Structure 1
Amino acid sequence: MTFSIVGYDLEADQVGIGLTTVTMAAGGTCPSYSPSGDIVVVQAFGNPVAGVAGVRALEAGKGLDNAVAAMRTADPSFSYRQIGIVTRNGELFSHTGENARPWAGHIQGDNFVAMGNVLTGRPVVDAMADAFSMSVNETLAERLLLALEAGRDAGGQQAPGGRHYDERSCLLKVIGNDVGREVPALDLRLDMTSDAVTEMRRFWEIYKPVVPFRAARAADPASIPSTYDWERQNLDKNPPPSTIKGEVLDGD
C-alpha cells in the first residue's frame, strides 16, 4: 500500500525518490542508498535486507544485473516485493512481483520508475508518470513531489475490498550537489500524519529558500547570520497553514 517514484535529472546530475504510504515512517525503511548515490527501493512487504544487498553490489561496481541477482539471493520472498532502482549514472530497474497485493504495477520511463501497490488502479502510476514527464523545467525535487500529488489525486491507495487508505508518511529525497553524494541535497520526511503528501507540499514550500542558505552558511560562516535571524528576515511570517485538523488518523 505504497506508491513511489525514483528519477534521474541528467542536467543537474541528481537522483531522487518520492514515496508515500499509509505505513508510518516508511521513508526510513523502504529505500536504501549507496555512498556513491545509488537508490534501491523495496516496497510491498518491504525488506531492507534486499535493499542493502542491492546497494552493496552497486557500490562494489558489480553492475545493475548483478545487483538485482544479489537481491534475489538475499530475499526468499522476492516475488512479494516491488522494486525500483536508479543508479548514480541514471540506469533503471523495475520489478513488481506476482505476489504483490493488487492493484500493483509500475511504469519505467527514460529517466524514472513510478510504481505502487494496493492502489485504486493503474491510473495512479499513469498519473505519476505523466506528472514527472511533463515537468521537465522544474527541479528534480519538485518533479518528484508533483508525481506523488498526481498519484494521490488519481485515487491513491485502496484495498481490494474498496477501503481507502490515507497517506500517513512521505519522503522526498534528492542526492547530488557540490558537496558530493554522501550528503543529500534534500532530505525531507514526514513519518506520521493524516495527509502526508499535502503536508510535504507545505513543508517543501516553506523549506525551499533554506536550501541555498544552508549552503552559503557552510561556505562562509563568518558573514552569514544565525539560522534564527535569517529565518526571521527571509521566511514568510505567515507560511501556508497546515491542513491537518486534529490529526485524526484513519486507514491502517
Structure 2
Amino acid sequence: MTFSLLGRCARTGWIGAAGATSDLAVGARIQHVAPGIGAVLTQHRTDPRLGPRGLALLRGGCAAAETVAALVASTPHAEWRQVAALDAAGGTAHHHGARVKPARAAAHGRDCVAIGNILASEAVPEAMVRAFEADPGAPLGDRLLAALAAGEAAGGEHGPVLSAVLEVWGDQDFALADLRVDRASGPIAELAGLWRDWAPKIDEFVLRVLDPDRARGGAAGSLSLPGAAA
C-alpha cells in the first residue's frame, strides 16, 4: 500500500526520497537518506531498522546491489520486506519478499529507483521513473514530486492515499527539506503546496545554520545553492 522513489541529481550530487501510502505518517517510517552516501527505502511490513543498517553499508563502501543483498541476508523476515537502495554513484537495487502483497513492482532509471506494493497497477513505478527522468535539469524536489504525482496518476495503490513525504539532502549534514503530510484526504497535492512554499526559503534556512550573521530572517537569503529551486 505504498509507492515511493529514491532519486539523485547527477549535476549536484543531491539525494532525496518521496513516497505515499494509505496509512498514517509514511514519512516517519520508510525513507533513510545520507548526503553524499545514498539512500534506502524499507516498506510493506516495514522494518525501519533496515534503513540505518543500509546506510551504514553504503557508508562502508558497498554499492546499492551489495547493500540490498546484505540487508536481505541479515533479516529473519526478508519474505515480508520490500527494500530499495540508491548509492552515491547512482546505482540502484531492490528486493521484493515472497510475501509482499500484489500488485508489487519496481522500476529502475538513471539515478533513481521506484518500488510499490498493494498497487492498483504494476505500471506505477515505471510511471514514477519516467516522470523523474523527464527533466534532469529541474530542482531535485520538483523531480521527486513529479514522480509521486505520476505514480498517483498511474493508479497509485488500491486504497485512498492518506500520507506523503518529500526529503531532500544536499551538501550539508542536515536535510534541506523534510516535508511530511501525516494525514490528509489529498496528501500529495498538499505536499506539493508545502514544497512550493518551502523551496524559496531553503537558501535562507541554510544561511541561518552556516552564517547566521548574514541571515536576513525573511523568506530568502543571499546564498545560492545549486538544485534548490528554479
TM-score by length of 2: 0.87
Amino acid at match of 1:23: D
Q: Which has more radius of gyration?
A: 1
Q: Which runs of 4+ in 1 moved over 6 A?
A: none
Amino acid at match of 1:45: R
RMSD: 2.1
- 1:209 and 2:182 aligned: no
Amino acid at match of 1:176: G
> Residue 125 of structure 1: CA displacement?
1.8
Contact 2:176 2:206 in 1 (8 A): no
> Residue 220 of structure 1: CA displacement?
4.3
- 1:37 and 2:37 aligned: yes
Q: What is the rounded CA distance, in whole Å, between the counterparts of 1:170 and 1:151 in structure 2?
A: 12
Aligned to 2:151: 151
Amino acid at match of 1:216: L
- 1:166 and 2:160 aligned: yes
For residues 219 and 56 of structure 1, do their structure 2 counterparts lie closer, same or farther at Cα, with a shift above 3 Å needed?
closer
> Percent sequence identity over matched residues?
29
Equivalences for residues 39-188 of structure 1 within 5 A: 39-158=39-158, 165-177=159-171, 180=172, 182-188=173-179
Q: What is the rounded CA distance, in whole Å, between the counterparts of 1:128 and 1:65 in structure 2?
A: 21
Amino acid at match of 1:89: A
Q: What is the rounded CA distance, in whole Å, between the counterparts of 2:59 and 2:206 in structure 1?
A: 27
Name stretches of at least 5 consecutive residues in structure 2 with no aligned partner. Answer: 221-230
Q: What is the rounded CA distance, in whole Å, between the counterparts of 1:35 and 1:224 in structure 2?
A: 23
Contact 2:63 2:87 in 1 (8 A): no
CA-to-aligned-CA distance 1:95-153 (integer Å, 9 cap, x gap): 22232111100011121101111111123222212111112221111101001001111
Q: What is the rounded CA distance, in whole Å, between the counterparts of 1:55 and 1:12 in structure 2?
A: 20
Contact 2:110 2:133 in 1 (8 A): no
Q: What is the rounded CA distance, in whole Å, between the counterparts of 1:59 and 1:108 in structure 2?
A: 22
Across the two proteins, how many residue pairs are aligned to each other? 220
Q: What is the rounded CA distance, in whole Å, between the counterparts of 2:106 and 2:62 in structure 1?
A: 25
> Residue 82 of structure 1: CA displacement?
1.6
- 1:225 and 2:216 aligned: yes
Aligned to 1:4: 4
TM-score by length of 1: 0.80
Contact 1:131 1:147 in 2 (8 A): yes
